[in-house]
Structure 1
Amino acid sequence: MIEVRGLTKRYGPTLAVDDLSFQVRPGSVTGFLGPNGAGKSTTMRMILGLDRPTAGTALIAGKPYRDLDHPLRTVGALLDAKWVHPNRSARSHLRWMAASNGIPDSRVDEVLALVGLTEVAGKKAGGFSLGMSQRLGLAGALLGDPQVLLFDEPVNGLDPEGIVWIRKFMQRLAAEGRTVLVSSHLLSEMALTAEHLVVIGRGRLIADTSVREFVDRASESVVRVRSPQLEALRSLLTAQGLTVREEGGTTHDKPSLTVLDSTTEAIGELAAQSGIVLHELAGQTGSLEDAFMKLTGDQVQYHGTGAAELLEGFRTAPAQTPLQPQTPPGYPPAHAKEAGR
């Protein structure tokens, strides 16, 4: 298990992590989410002893990372897929890691096979694609057969087949009773991978809950309904005090009603009692992406300009005189060089 208690990290005047506390329990994949600059990578680095906390503690299996006798046998991590020495082969890199923690060489070939790199085990890691580097990083994380695993953007650079593979692989590791913490910006993928979420913004905890509870907490409960008697249905629903919006009505989408804060059962029973025919009746739930944007929108550190505003800025900006190249300090001006030719 991973335990984070009052974890705080300052870089000069910048507060990167602010009194953060949470637990990551074994048996399920926990997604670690937050906007850019939220403090996710800093937190993971402190858990792994790569950064020293300003205050608070981070424990793995009840101990700080520095107190683990053979850390690779307790915790495996993939934070940066490209940290491998480029002139080492995949096998040599893993053998070096294994030797540092008393792990037998036989385990190296096991994990290479596990991540699908057996055929390129003798090739230099510097020539690997990002996807292959991710697989090598995963092999290193698994080398000591640890019970705790941390992954930072593990599907980065993988093709669709690789993404599905690593999703199922992480779920299998959790099903074996291991503790799995995964940081990712791919929310659609995290919705399929994780069962539990720890969400932070500006270094503070926003949510520590199941994926389902997180989505339900931030999403509207809506029902979509279509009927050839749309106006009669609208009148019936508004008379019950329900909020109703009309949707569609284009060539490819027939008009429908979206009903807020109700259920398919309630609307179906009302329509049946009034003899109104329904052609569609479906509940709609929010997505993890919608919930994430709603709950973390005010925690985003860097905001981009919308396309419309950007184009308008170009249209209304006064004409500028082109910038002239500047002569670096210590170099003669261009006209002097010309005169000397």
Structure 2
Amino acid sequence: MIEAIGLTKRYGSTVAVNDLSFTVRPGRVTGFLGPNGAGKSTTMRMVLGLDRPTAGRVLIDGTPYNKIKNPLRSVGALLDAKWVHPNRSARTHLLWMARSNGIPVRRVDEVLDEVGLTKVARKRAGGFSLGMSQRLGIASALLGDPKVLLFDEPVNGLDPEGILWIRRFMQGLAAQGRTVLVSSHLLSEMALTAEDLVVIGRGELIAQCSTAEFIDRSAKAAVLVRAPEWQRFATLLRDKGFAVAEGAEGVLTVEGATGAEIGEVAAGNGVVLHELSPQRASLEEAFMQLTGDSVEYQTGSAEKGV
């Protein structure tokens, strides 16, 4: 488990993270989301002891990172896929890491096989594509068979097959009871991967909840309706106080009402319905609605809602 308690990080007069507290539970993939400049990378670096908090602390299974003996056995992380000496082979890089933390050599070949790099294990890492480098970074994180794992943008450079692989892989790690924290800008992928979310903006906590709860409470629910008498039905729905938008070919989008409520209005007024479909908002829509005020750099079109 990861516990952030009152984390604050200042760089001179700039506050990168401000009194941030959250918990990442084992057995679930937790997505770590926020606009650019929200403080995600700074927070992950503080979790790993790479940056010292100005205030607050982080505990990993109850212990600060700098107090953990042989930390690779407890915590694995992928923060920068290209953090490898370009002239070292993938296998040599992992051997160096294994020896530094007392990890058996056999584990090197196990993780190379796990991430699909066995055939290129003796090739120079400097010649790897970004996708291959990501896989090597994941192998490095897994090397000590840790219970806690942090991944920063792990799907960068991966093709669709690789993205599907990492999604299932992270979910498999969580199913083993591990703590998995994943930062990503690919919101459509996070919606499929993460069960829980920690969302921050301008260094402060915006939300911590399940992915489904975040979407449901952050975005407006709507119901799509098709009816032959759509104009009359639109008037009936507005008379009930529901917001109705009229689309092409008589399609109505109704907000502020459930499918059951709309069906009852139709039945009570003899309106034939050809379609009644609740529309669930996407994670991207919910994220944009909730974090819009926390975006560091906005274009004129973004500010106007274009």
Q: When the two structures are superposed, what TM-score results if normalisation uses the length of structure 2?
A: 0.97
CA shift, 1:295, in A, is 0.9
AA aligned to 1:106 is R
Q: Which position in structure 2 is the counterpart of 1:131?
A: 131
Any gaps of 5 or more consecutive residues in structure 1? 249-253, 310-341
Structure 2 SS opposite 1:113 = helix
SS in 1 for 2:277: strand
Measure the CA separation in 1 of the matches of 2:100 and 2:155.
27
Q: Is 1:280 the equivalent of 2:259?
A: no
1:92-116 superposed Cα distances (whole Å, 9 cap, x missing partner) = 0000000011111100000000000
The whole-number CA distance in structure 1 between the counterparts of 2:250 and 2:231 is 11
| Structure 1 counterpart of 2:243 | 243
| Worse overlay, 111-120 or 56-65 | 56-65
Q: Following the alignment from structure 1 to structure 2, what is the Cα–Cα distance between the partners of residues 303 and 222? A: 28
Partner of 1:332: none
* 1:162-215: CA deviation from partner (whole Å, max 9, x where unpaired): 001000100010011100000000011101100111011111111011111111
Residue aligning to 2:98? 98
Matched, 1:261 2:256: yes
Task: Say if 2:215 is the partner of 1:220.
Answer: no
Unaligned residue ranges in structure 2 (runs of 5+): none
Aligned-residue offset at 1:279: 1.2
Matched, 1:43 2:43: yes
Give distance in 2, aligned partners of 1:284 and 1:58.
39
How many positions carry a matched residue from both structures? 303
Q: What is the rounded CA distance, in whole Å, between the counterparts of 2:3 and 2:93 in structure 1?
A: 30
CA contact (8 A) 2:17 2:204 kept: yes
Between the aligned partners of 2:240 and 2:20, the Cα distance in structure 1 is 45
Quote the residue 2:299 is aligned against.
304
Contact 2:231/2:250, CA 8 A, preserved across alignment? no
Q: Are 2:107 and 1:107 equivalent residues in the alignment?
A: yes
**Hey, what's the Cα distance between the residues in 2 that align with 1:56 and 1:26?**
22
Equivalent residue for 2:204?
204
Is it true that 1:292 corresponds to 2:297 in the alignment?
Answer: no
| Preserved contact between residue 34 and residue 291 of structure 2 (Cα < 8 Å) | yes
Matched residue, 1:330: none
The aligned amino acid for 1:280 is E
**Where do residues 1-341 of structure 1 align in structure 2 (5 Å cutoff)?**
1-248=1-248, 254-306=249-301
**Higher gyration radius (CA):** 1
- The structural deviation recorded for 1:48 is 0.2
Q: Secondary structure at the match of 1:52?
A: coil
Please state how far the C-alpha of 1:64 moved relative to its aligned partner: 0.9
Tell me the equivalent position of 1:312: none
SS in 2 for 1:104: coil
Q: Does the aligned pair in 1 maintain the 2:228–2:250 contact within 8 Å?
A: no
SS class of match (2:209): strand
Give the C-alpha shift of residue 240 in structure 1: 2.0
Letter in 2 for 1:34: G
TM-superposed CA distance for 1:267, in Å, is 1.3
Q: Distance in 2 between matches of 1:241 and 1:34?
A: 35
Give me the whole-angstrom Cα distance separating, in 2, the residues matched to 1:220 and 1:90. Answer: 48
What CA distance in whole angstroms lies between the structure 1 residues aligned with 2:23 and 2:181? 10
Instruction: Measure the CA separation in 1 of the matches of 2:239 and 2:250.
Output: 20
2:199 and 2:232 mapped to 1: Cα distance? 44
Once residues 304 and 130 of structure 1 are traced to their aligned partners in structure 2, the CA distance between those partners, rounded to angstroms, is: 29
- Contact 2:198/2:209 (CA < 8 Å) preserved in 1? yes
- 1: CA distance, partners of 2:283 / 2:211: 8
Give deviations 1:200-251, integer Å, cap 9, x for gaps. Answer: 1111111011111111111112111011111221232223222212112xxx
Indicate the SS of the match to 1:262. Answer: coil
1:338 is matched with which residue?
A: none
Q: 1:264 is matched by which residue type in structure 2?
A: G
SS where residue 164 of structure 1 aligns? Answer: helix
1:99 aligned counterpart, secondary structure: helix
C-alpha displacement of 1:305: 4.3
Q: How far did residue 28 of structure 1 move?
A: 0.5
Secondary structure at the counterpart of residue 220 of structure 2: coil
